[in-house]
Amino acid sequence: MRPAVRPVVVTGVLVVHDGAAWLTECLDALSLQSRPLDRLVIVDTGSTDDSLRIAAKHARIRQVVGDVVAISALHANTFGEAVGHAVEQMTFGSEPSGSESSESASSQAVTGAQWLWLLHDDSAAAPEALAHLLDAALRSPSVGVAGPKLVTWDDPSRLLEVGSVITRSGRRVGGPETGEPDQGQHDHRNDVLGVSTSGMLIRRDVFETLDGFDPAFGQFRDDLDLCWRVQLAGHRVVVAPRARMREAAASTNGQRSHGLSADAARGRDRRDGRQVALARCSPYAAPVLAIWIALASLGSAAVLLVAKRPHGAWAALGDFGSLMTPWRPMAARWRSRGIRRVRRRDLRGLFASPRAGFGHTLDTIHEGVAPLGAGSGSARSVDDGAGSALSLESGPASEEAESLERPARGAGWRILRHPGFLAVMAGALLAAATWRSLFGALIPSGAGIAGGELLPVSSNASGLWHAWLDGWHGAGLGNALEPAPYLPVLSAGAWVLEHLPLIGASTSSVGVSIAWLLAAAVPLSAWTAYLGTRVVTRARWPRAWAALAWASLATLTTAVASGRLGAVVAHILLPLVAAGFACAARRSARIWTTFGAALALGMTGAFNPALAALGVLAALILLVVGHGRTRLRAAVLLLVPIGLLGPWILQLVDNPLLLLTGPGLTVWRGATAVPWQLGLLHPGGPGSYPVLLSAPIVLAGVIAMSRCRADSRTMTVLAVLMMAGLALGVASPHVIIGLIPQDLAGAGNPITVWAGTGLDLAALALIAAALRGFGRGSARLSRPRFRWRQILVLCVVTAAVLGVVGSMAMAGWVGVGEALTRQVPKTPAVAAEQAHGSWGNRLLAMSREGDTIGYRLVGAEPGPVVRDLPGAVVAQDPLLAAAVNSTVGTSDVTSTTAARDALADLGVGFVAFHGASTEPLVTQLDATAGMTRLSNNNGQILWRVLPRENAVGSSRLRLVDAEGAPLVSIAVTGDHGQTDVSLGPATSGASSALSSASASDGRRLVVAEPNRWAERARVTFAGRRLEAIAGAEQPTYLLPPIAGQLSITLAPTHQWWRWGQLGLLLVVLFLGAPLGLTRSRRTP
């Protein structure tokens, strides 16, 4: 008789290891199975809690199953070993006691239909679980393994695993995420690569054929390995979503008393997954896969780090661990040799596509950069550094209440109605109206603007960058003075401009970027003010008012109209700095706000040192009076700006007066506003509008400061700030910080401090106070009591709004004024082109100024961008003076070429004279040997300095023989003679004509720079460092007669400090960028 009644025997193998917390429930669930187990083997792996007692005393399971055996596998460390031990016992050992021999015989007859149901002690199967599993397993004879849908222990409606989907490199993708609500979204799965060991139903013969779990993979991903081998052996692995099991995943979550921590378990899981892939992939693909894993690990780590997901980055780096023990996958591969029955590519459909893996990474990054608060309350996973609950579609379940917060209308409508957006737009309109007369200057391919405090500059980002970085820099012959710290910021702006798509190249991207910055100052100020006022109030419309009040202040309109770059940048950044300080003083500041404020303060200091000094002072106060984390933040606010400004701080120590100056922060000529106008926040100058229009803001601020409220401390701080700013403002025109030097127009007149810096501070305090005092005006108006107060509030608010509207209207009407003009390149085009060419030709520009002849050397290197306090006159180079003297000296026309040679030695390729063509100097230059007139345009006459007899023209670098006769010009590749070119040996070219004496003496490299240049230059030839010959008129180097590479670089003055600045900037940028969430990403 065929044993047809129960052809299938299911043996449960329950591995117990300190699972007392869950075991009772686990056994209860087993006893409630609708299709009861035929046998149950409880394998204990050395539990130290009362698991054994629970297992032994559970009566119901024994009633239901009957054949329950408890065995001990003390030596087994892993689940796999425990199961293996149990199966061994079942096969070769004595039949578990208590089994009936008849049933034993019948079960022997149907060995092929014996199934093992692997069970964890921290899982609880739903009553129908086994029935559904068997249903799925018996549906096809090819099924070797069937697995249930795992849900979380605490909440059965949240998913844990529905089969595992991995990429070919062994990375889990495709979910479900841990804790993902189960809405049946994964129930379509059937064939999967692997299922978890928890609840795995495996045919016993398959298990035995494959020799069970591979010991290489220990506790984690041994399930994947086994299933992969099952697949390779020609069996199917299916998941039965209808079979549900609750799973505590105690090992993975670190809940086992002696197990790994959760983080370590996740790392092991990840690593083992990679190793399984390495062990089971095609042997030929394994090396490629290893390389891919290494690269992907590094790349993901870098990207995740930038996205401020350090945990994820660390986890990604953990993949390297899988490559550290290559013998393990190799051993595993050896052990499983010969089992493969199907081609590997037949399994292709079971893997996630590479695109899915990439999309997964993108999701992770998106989560990192997603706006703050957008995902608040969502559960997040750090597994794989991934898992974005944000990207999931929410179903109609009850917990989707959060989705109700979404507005009924589209995002566009929301933005359009956003007061902040409207304020910025109003600022943009004001800027457009103000700049109506200078639209042409904003053309990207133009030369930008000049005038006011802006000096004509023709440079690009690289030129400005080198003007800051190089140890020898600056216009003309150059100098080694400490460069202004704002240059790299402007350079960055110009760089961005240069790299914008669809924009033509500009001859002066610096000029254009400055023009854009000035033009965008009003909307930018509105934006930063709107952001910054968040620390004062959350009310949006009052914040929009404050933003526009800040953006339409006369301090900004006049600064823009006069090209006071330092004031404009400081005005834009000041709200952010102030908000950062306010945040730092509170208890709940985020890291990025602190570092963002420190960065803004550093940048403000680069443009307006006085404000940075005040900021540092405020940070010091905070450091003293604050406590706990506030002190830490204050230290950041104190040290980061100092570190960012770097060596420039030393300049301040040398000359503290620099604190009061900055780019465009001095007043050279022109009347300042009278004190009462200063009191109304009007510094005077171009771009001013009627002063009284600012009175309502002052009034509102003063009234707000006067009110007695709970936050009177804040008001006191603001009042002190306002008074300090006002005092600074009204005192500034009386502070003489220098006299206009003799060689400039208006010589001897005093140079005073621009009043707007102080007034900006006063305005900041007033607007903040007004916002705080009247920000909830509507709420006050509805109060029933104190009628007089309501009327006052109404009047003040109305006046303040009208004042801002009036200010904007008048500022727009007045416009940007006459001071700024479109910049017209002063250097003739041919000279400018040659200056940037390979010879680095200079232009000697001369002009008659009264009874003197002024001259200036113009090269490709940019000079100062904005007017500042005049520094000490750079010592005149005697060679230059001699060259000019020989050119324009009183001696009459000479037949010699002394003038030409003197000019050529300085790299002067062109001479220009700005003035009347009847000037005697013009005739003299016409008659100078070696010079030929090129053009006479717009009052500028241009001569070219002709090459010498041996056709060696003017150049920055030239080779000369021992007598000093030029042999050949050498091309330059950078500013001030920097180059990197290869030179032939001395025997080639002109040196063959040399006498033997000079040939033995060797050729020399002469640099058309002043002697002090040599102190900063690093000249190497053929790999050897060259030292300048002492006593030469110009930097001269003896070149060996061999061929080699000539390299000239100008090292930065404080090289290590520069590296430090860069490093600090990167760190601060990273920490200060408002990306990622700083709160824990862990699932609660």
Partner 1 sequence: MRGVPRPLALALARAVGLVAVGVGLVLGATYLPAPINLAQGATPTRATRAPAEPVTQTRLICPGPEALGIEGLPDSLPQTVSVAAAAAPVESLPPGLVTGPGDGSLAISGLPSGGKWAVSATVRGQVVSGQVSTARSALVTGVGTLAPGVVATQWSWIPEGNSRGLVTAACMPAATSSWLIAGGAGPGRLEHLVLANPGPNPVTVDLAVFGVKGRIDSPDGQGLTVAGHSRTVILLDAIAGSEPSPVVHVMARGGKVAAFLSDTWLDGIVPRGGDDVVSLAEPAREQVIAGVPIDGRAILRVAVPGDSEAVVESRVLTSGGPRPLPADGVTRVAGRSTRDIDLSSLPPGAYAVQVRADVPVVAAAMVDRRRAAGAPSDLAWSVASLPIRTLAGMALPTSEVKGLTQRLDLAATTDPASVRVTTVGVDGRVSTNEVAIAADSVSTLSLNGATSVWVTPLTGLVRAAVVTSVTDAGGVLLSLTPLADLTLTATPSPLRQLRDQ
The residues in 425-464 that bind partner 1, with binding defined as CB under 8 A, are 455
Question: Where in 464-523 is the site for partner 1 (CB under 8 A)?
Answer: 474-476
* C-beta of 384 vs 868, nearer to partner 1: 868
Cα distance between residue 562 and residue 814, in whole Å: 13
Distance (Å, rounded) from C-alpha 282 to C-alpha 278? 8
Rule CB under 8 A: choose which of 286, 737, 793, 1077 binds partner 1: 737
Segment contacting partner 1 by CB under 8 A, of 5-13, 119-127, 735-743, 903-911: 735-743
Nearer to partner 1, 481 or 1066 (CB): 481
Question: Which stretch in 17-25, 123-131, 681-689, 848-856 sits in contact with partner 1 by CB under 8 A?
Answer: 848-856
Tally of CA atoms within 13 A in the half-sphere of 1006 that contains its CB? 25
Output the CA–CA distances (angstroms, integers) from residue 242 to 129, 133, 151, 169, 190, in the order listed: 7, 8, 12, 29, 11
Near partner 1 in 930-959, by CB under 8 A: 930-933
Whose Cβ is closer to partner 1: residue 304's or residue 565's? 565
Q: Which of these, 827, 797, 991, lies nearest to 912 by C-alpha position?
A: 827
Min separation Cβ 751 and partner 1, Å: 8
Residues 821-840, mask of contacts with partner 1 (x by CB under 8 A): --------------------
Does 335 interact with partner 1 (rule: CB under 8 A)? no
The closest of 561, 449, 503 to 865, measured between CA atoms, is 449
Q: Which residue shows structure tokens 């006011």? A: 452
Select from 215-223, 264-272, 622-630, 672-680 the region that touches partner 1 (CB under 8 A): 672-680
Where does 492-534 show beta strands of DSSP type E? none
CB-wise, 181 or 684, nearer to partner 1?
A: 684
Q: How far is the CB of 825 from partner 1 (least distance, A)?
A: 15
Classify the C-alpha dihedral 762-768-771-774 as positive or negative.
negative
CB of 372 to partner 1, least distance (A): 37
Per-position DSSP letters for 61-76, written without gaps between them = HHHHH--EEEEE-TT-
Min CB(894)–partner 1 separation in Å? 8
| Closest C-alpha among 15, 119, 3 to residue 73 | 15
**Is residue 873 a contact residue for partner 1 (CB under 8 A)?**
yes
Is 750 a binder of partner 1 (CB under 8 A)?
yes
| By the rule CB under 8 A, 854 interacts with partner 1 | yes
Among candidates 579, 578, 572, which has minimal Cα distance to 550?
572
Q: How far apart are CA 202 and CA 237, in angstroms?
A: 9
Residue 413 within binding range of partner 1, rule CB under 8 A = no
Q: Choose one: 222-230, 308-316, 579-587, 720-728; the region binding partner 1 (CB under 8 A).
A: 720-728
- Specify the stretch interacting with partner 1 by CB under 8 A; choose among 122-130, 160-168, 643-651, 736-744: 736-744
- With contacts defined by CB under 8 A, name the span among 271-279, 587-595, 918-926, 1022-1030 that binds partner 1: 918-926
Phi, psi (degrees; rounded to nearest 5) at 390: -65, -35
Distances in Å between the Cα of 834 and the Cα atoms of 830, 860, 925, 956 are 6, 9, 21, 12
As a whole number of angstroms, the distance between CA 199 and CA 149 comes to: 9
What pairing do the DSSP bridges indicate for beta strands 1024-1026 and 39-44?
unpaired
Among the listed residues 825, 870, 947, 1002, the single contact to partner 1 using CB under 8 A: 870
By CB under 8 A, residue 745 contacts partner 1:
no
710 is a contact residue toward partner 1 (CB under 8 A): no
Nearer to partner 1, 12 or 664 (CB): 664
C-alpha distance across the termini of the chain, in Å:
58
Query: By CB under 8 A, is residue 744 in contact with partner 1?
Result: yes
Candidates 848, 948, 1018, 1058: give the one binding partner 1 (CB under 8 A).
848
Q: Which one of 71-79, 459-467, 807-815, 916-924 is the stretch in contact with partner 1 (CB under 8 A)?
A: 916-924
CB of 1072 to partner 1, least distance (A): 34
Q: Of the candidates 260, 252, 274, which has an alpha carbon nearest to the alpha carbon of residue 1083?
A: 252
Judged by CB under 8 A, the chain residues 602 through 641 that form the site for partner 1 are none
Q: Please tell me whether residue 851 binds partner 1 under the rule CB under 8 A.
A: yes
Instruction: Report if residue 1044 touches partner 1, rule: CB under 8 A.
Output: no
Residue range at the interface with partner 1 (CB under 8 A); choices 85-93, 406-414, 497-505, 915-923: 915-923
849 binds partner 1 (CB under 8 A): yes
| Vertex 310 angle, CA 305 and 312, to 5° | 95
Among 262, 853, 965, 1073, interactor with partner 1 by CB under 8 A: 853
Q: Is 679 in the site for partner 1 (CB under 8 A)?
A: yes
> How far apart are alpha carbons 589 and 580 in whole angstroms?
9
Site string for partner 1, 640-669 (x = CB under 8 A): ---------------x-x--x---------
Please identify which residue in the block is written with the tokens 């100078």.
Answer: 928
> Between residues 321 and 675, which has the closer beta carbon with respect to partner 1?
675
* CA angle in degrees (0–180, nearest 5) for 106-111-113: 100
Is 741 an interacting residue with respect to partner 1 (CB under 8 A)?
A: yes
- Binding residue for partner 1, selected from 25, 926, 980, 1001, defined by CB under 8 A: 926
**What token pair was written down for 959?**
């080779």
Contacts of 140 (CB under 8 A, 6+ apart): 236
Q: How far is the CB of 769 from partner 1 (least distance, A)?
A: 10
Q: For residues 572 and 604, what is the distance between their CA atoms, to the nearest angstrom?
A: 9
Q: Which stretch binds partner 1 (CB under 8 A): 43-51, 134-142, 673-681, 984-992?
A: 673-681
DSSP-derived letter for residue 748 is: T
> Under rule CB under 8 A, which residues in 9-68 are in contact with partner 1?
none
By the 10 Å C-beta count (0-12 exposed, 13-18 middle, 19+ buried), 93 is classed as exposed
Q: Binding of partner 1 at residue 915 (CB under 8 A)?
A: no
Name the minimum Å distance from CB 313 to partner 1: 47
Whole-angstrom distance, CA of residue 792 vs CA of residue 777: 10
Closer Cβ to partner 1, 660 or 1014, answer by number: 660
Provide the sign of the torsion angle of the four alpha carbons 1034, 1039, 1045, 1049, taken in this order: negative
Of the candidates 722, 671, 685, the residue with the CA atom closest to the CA atom of residue 701: 722
Of 161-169, 237-245, 270-278, 729-737, the segment contacting partner 1 by CB under 8 A is 729-737
Residue among 100, 743, 949, 963 that touches partner 1 (CB under 8 A): 743
Minimum distance between the CB of residue 814 and partner 1, rounded to whole angstroms? 24
Counting Cα atoms < 13 Å in the Cβ hemisphere of 188 gives: 1
Count of residues that bind partner 1 according to CB under 8 A: 79
What DSSP string describes 268-319? Answer: HHHHHHHHHHHHHS-TTHHHHHHHHHHHHHHHHHHHHHHTT-HHHHHHHHTT
Please count the CA atoms within 13 angstroms of the CA of 860 that sit on its side-chain side.
Answer: 27
Cα 1071 from Cα 1080, distance rounded (Å): 16
Select 375 or 474, whichever has its Cβ closest to partner 1: 474
Looking at 1, 4, 708, 710, which residue binds partner 1 (CB under 8 A)?
708
Contact positions with partner 1 (CB under 8 A) in 879-898: 880-881, 884-885, 888-893, 895
- Please identify, using beta-carbon distances, which residue of 366 and 734 lies nearer to partner 1: 734
Q: How far is the CB of 675 from partner 1 (least distance, A)?
A: 4
Query: Which residues from 144-203 bind partner 1, rule CB under 8 A?
Result: none
Which one, 621 or 881, has the nearer CB to partner 1? 881
